[in-house]
A and B are shown apart, each in its own frame.
With several copies, the nearest count.
Chain A
Amino acid sequence: MSFDLLLTNFLNPPILFFFLGMAAVLAKSDLDIPQPLPKAFALYLLFAIGFKGGVELAHGGLQPGVLKALGAAISLACVVPVYAFFILRRRLDVKNAAAIAATYGSVSAVTFIAATSFLGQLGVVSGGYMVAAMALMESPAIIVGVALCRLYSAAETGGVAHPSLSWSHLLREAFFNGSVFVLVGSLIIGAITGARGAQALLPFTDGIFKGVLCLFLLDMGLVSARRLAGLRKLGAFPLAFATLIPLGNAALALLVAKSLGLPRGDAFLLCTLSASASYIAVPAAMRAAIPEANPGLYVTMALALTFPFNVILGFPLYYSLIQRLWS
């Protein structure tokens, strides 16, 4: 990993604000960004990224290359939770293994947005369809995780099953989760609107984007640093998993991207998507579908470990690999 890439990443204001948030918690500052402000920032970011992605998608069209990439994205989102589950089963019970597997099979929209900002620093372009790829990767892992859970927990317990969630309810949780809904909806609206109509929204969707991202990452820094104290209780296995599985998932995504001949920017985004872990769409679904799984485990791992890992070290690492493999 080149030192230059590390530095480029560190000097990106959003990342610096993430550090500032972490520093505030470590310094025991009373800095706090009360709800629903972080929810407003997230709503804005999903809206803007979705809308812009839709506009670009409409512009570029659904070429065969795009469809291949989207197919690869969905496949990754279905395969990752399966092998993650079996790795996790070596130490954890079925419910927690399934919930964590779903978490790592799905993706983190904020990691994706931060990754586009990293590419922006480097001046590397990426395709608008990658937003669609992200949207498509949100939900499948939820279904896979719950299916694995049901399959294997029937075996494990004789099962005093409490009334379990119906599949129709589950599909709704997976596909109509609020943030997925805003992202996909904005994507579709952007695609309908097209470039001409998008012009009037540019100062909103583009102009203030990076600033809002800074404030959002400031809050992410606060939230994830608050969870750091809880990490010690998790034990060594989850810690190791949360920092190693992203590497595996990233590597897999790189191979896929290379074999499809994706351009650098898109390969990088696919790679960070695969390496990222969901802490928005999945936790909400898991609370409903696998209530016995411990969110103190799967949310904390995604939020306090995997997110900072990807954003701080992952980005320069993945991109330096791409520089080698793609040249």
Chain B
Amino acid sequence: MENVTRVEIITDALEMREVCALLESLGVSGYSVIRDVQGQGERGRQLGDELTDVFKNSFLLAVCEPALAERVAEALRPILQRRGGICLLTPARSVRH
């Protein structure tokens, strides 16, 4: 098993495409996305009930080596500032194929 860092990102659903592009540009090789997430935060309630996904969040989990995870977190800061949301780093161990 490998020591890895779980990077969790919750932000505006419409921003996720850009977040994925950012991750890929930083060399993250894999990630998983849950598209429909509701939430509460500084920007108020996100009910996800709008036709355009303006009040909806998405959740992304990327597992990568610890050093890369730090870089990802740093690079996300401007996006989180602009659009809101949160990024979490947690150490974990992983099994891959």
* A contacts B: CB pair < 8 Å: yes
Interface residues of A (CB under 8 A from B): 35, 38-39, 42, 162, 179, 222-223, 226, 230, 279-281, 283-284, 287-288, 291-292, 295-296, 299, 303
With A230-B44, A284-B14: A299-B82 Cβ-Cβ less than 8 Å: no
CA distance A303 to B49 in the complex (A): 12
Structural contact, A296 and B51, CB atoms closer than 8 A: no
Q: Which residues of B contact A284 (CB under 8 A)?
A: 14, 52-54
Q: Which residues of A contact B78 (CB under 8 A)?
A: 162
CA distance A223 to B50 in the complex (A): 7
B48 within 8 A of A: yes
CA distance A222 to B43 in the complex (A): 21
Interface residues of B (CB under 8 A from A): 12, 14, 36, 43-44, 47-55, 78, 82-83
Q: Which residues of A contact B51 (CB under 8 A)?
A: 38-39, 42, 179, 279-280
Structural contact, A35 and B55, CB atoms closer than 8 A: no
Total of A-B residue pairs, C-beta within 8 Å: 44
Least Cβ distance of B11 to chain A in Å? 11
Structural contact, B52 and A279, CB atoms closer than 8 A: yes
B54 contacts which of A35, A226, A299 (Cβ < 8 Å)? A299
A291 contacts which of B50, B55, B82 (Cβ < 8 Å)? B82
Structural contact, A35 and B14, CB atoms closer than 8 A: no
With A284-B14, A287-B14, A288-B14: A295-B47 Cβ-Cβ less than 8 Å: no
Q: Which residues of B contact A38 (CB under 8 A)?
A: 49, 51
Q: A35-B49, A299-B54 are in contact. List 18 more A-B contacts (CB 8 A).
A: A162-B82, A179-B51, A222-B49, A223-B49, A223-B50, A279-B50, A279-B51, A283-B52, A283-B54, A284-B14, A287-B12, A287-B14, A288-B14, A291-B83, A295-B54, A296-B43, A296-B44, A299-B55
Query: Nearest chain-B residue to A296 (Cβ)?
Result: B44
CA distance A296 to B49 in the complex (A): 14
Q: Which residues of B contact A280 (CB under 8 A)?
A: 51-52
CA distance A303 to B50 in the complex (A): 10
Least Cβ distance of B23 to chain A in Å? 17
Query: Nearest chain-A residue to B36 (Cβ)?
Result: A35
Q: Which residues of B contact A279 (CB under 8 A)?
A: 50-52
Query: Nearest chain-B residue to A282 (Cβ)?
Result: B52
12 contacts between A and B (CB under 8 A): A35-B48, A35-B49, A38-B49, A226-B49, A279-B51, A280-B51, A287-B14, A287-B54, A295-B55, A299-B50, A299-B54, A303-B50
